[in-house]
């Protein structure tokens, strides 16, 4: 399996511009998570989906942030308008609902991340 795929890997934009980050989860996984990581705040959960439905978006910092999952193999995180304080590494992760192997149920597999710089 290719693992979780994220694009772009690096994004540099100017304040006020729209930014769209993309994620393809591991095939067959039914949970998808978006995280933001900064030195000051560590790894923060922004939102997560189950079977393409948003379950908890309480971590989304502001209305400028939105996320969608139109199908099981694709999700986007959009920031509009972007601000310098949004500069961070954004990770997407996926996991699988327990079947016969509950032991691995909560394990999340991370993508390589998108490093966003807003000037």
Partner 1 sequence: QKEVEQNSGPLSVPEGAIASLNCTYSDRGSQSFFWYRQYSGKSPELIMFIYSNGDKEDGRFTAQLNKASQYVSLLIRDSQPSDSATYLCAVGTGRRALTFGSGTRLQVQP
Nearest to 61 by CA among 30, 39, 87, 31: 87
Q: Please tell me whether residue 28 binds partner 1 under the rule CB under 8 A.
A: no
CB 76 within 8 A of CB 52: no
From 16-24, 39-47, 60-68, 75-83, span contacting partner 1 (CB under 8 A): 39-47
Q: Cα-flanking dihedrals φ and ψ of residue 104, to 5°?
A: -100, 10
Distance of CA 105 to the CA centre of its chain: 19
Distance, CA of 27 to CA of 41 (rounded, Å): 30
Q: Which of 7, 55, 83, 85 binds partner 1 (CB under 8 A)?
A: 55
Q: How far is the CB of 42 from partner 1 (least distance, A)?
A: 4
Backbone φ, ψ for residue 7 (5° rounding): -150, 150
Binding marks (x or -) toward partner 1, 61..90, rule CB under 8 A?
------------------------------
Does residue 18 interact with partner 1 by CB under 8 A? no
Enumerate binding residues for partner 1 (CB under 8 A): 31, 33, 42-43, 45, 48, 50, 55-56, 91, 95, 103-113
């Amino acid at each position: 399996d290719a693992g979780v795929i994220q694009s772009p890997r690096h994004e540099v934009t100017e304040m006020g511009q729209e930014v769209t980050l993309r994620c393809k989860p591991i095939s067959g996984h039914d949970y998808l998570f978006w995280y933001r990581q900064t030195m000051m705040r560590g790894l923060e959960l922004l939102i997560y989906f189950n079977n393409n439905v948003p379950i908890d978006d309480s971590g989304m910092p502001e209305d400028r942030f939105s996320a969608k999952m139109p199908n099981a193999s694709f999700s986007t995180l959009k920031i509009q308008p972007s601000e310098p304080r949004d500069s961070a590494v954004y990770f997407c992760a996926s996991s699988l609902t327990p079947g016969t192997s509950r032991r691995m149920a909560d394990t999340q597999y991370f993508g390589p991340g998108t490093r966003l710089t807003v000037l």
